[in-house]
Amino acid sequence: MNPRTPESLIHLFNGLFSESLNTVLERGDDEPIYLPADDKHLQHRIIFAHGFFASALHELSHWCVAGEQRRLLVDFGYWYKPDGRTAAEQAEFEKVEIKPQALEWLLSEAAGHKFHFSADNLGANMGASDSFKASVQQQVLQYLTEGIPERPAQLIQALQQYYGTPPLTPERFSLEGK
């Protein structure tokens, strides 16, 4: 079994998408960000935080959800409100995070890496709600039943081959212990 390192993830992703979709995964020192190609950088860059494997998987999941036009915008054109969101703002955050976190869970399983739901609101001392977790799980099961979109499916297959993980089956996506 190959080690789960950020470098292995970078190598796998860049081998798949640096030429075909002109996109690379890079280790960052600070906050994660997606930067489209520009005059200084000829490739789109997915930059993950502090070399954390989980951060890379999370940023990759957002890239997997973003359509062609959104991949031309900094951070895919998404809004971001830092810690300290109100309950209404948190509910809106959770609504837009269902698909990315479902894909992140699939990517994590494919890489043999433990998945953690993210409420991304540490200042409010608010974890992911039970309804959010259930919605993410439902989306995972829908992907498994109806098919995973092409880009994440390619990445999942590469992760499974590299890390030697078993097929993704519904039984692997339980909320117990999450």
Q: How does pLDDT run across 23-45, given as a tens digit for each residue? A: 999 999 988 999 999 999 999 99
The residue out of 45, 77, 109 marking a domain boundary is: 77
The answer as to whether 1 is a domain residue is no
- Residue 109 falls inside a structural domain: yes
Where b means 16+ CB within 10 Å and e means fewer, 56-93 reads bbbbbbbbbbbeeebbeeebbeeeeeeeebeeeebeeb
Instruction: Please check whether residues 101 and 131 belong to one and the same domain.
Output: yes
Short-list 56, 29, 152, CA closest to 160: 152
| 82: in domain | no
Cα 28 from Cα 49, distance rounded (Å): 5
Average pLDDT value for the chain: 91
Instruction: Give the rounded percent of residues in the chain with a pLDDT score beyond 90.
Output: 75
For the stretch 80-100, pLDDT in tens is 666 666 777 777 778 889 999
Total domains in the fold of the chain: 2
Residues 163 and 92 in one domain: yes
pLDDT at 120: 64
The answer to whether the CB of 34 falls within 8 A of the CB of 46 is: yes
Q: Which residues contact 137 (CB under 8 A, 6 or more apart)?
A: 102, 173, 175
Give me the residues of the chain with pLDDT under 70, please.
1, 79-85, 120-127
pTM of the model as a whole: 0.92
8 A C-beta contact, residue 56 and residue 6? yes
> What is the predicted pLDDT for the residue at 102?
98
Domain endpoint, select from 33, 53, 77:
77
> Do 111 and 166 fall into the same domain?
yes
CA distance 157 to 45: 22
Structure confidence at residue 129 (pLDDT): 83
Helices (H), 50-149: 53-65, 87-111, 130-146
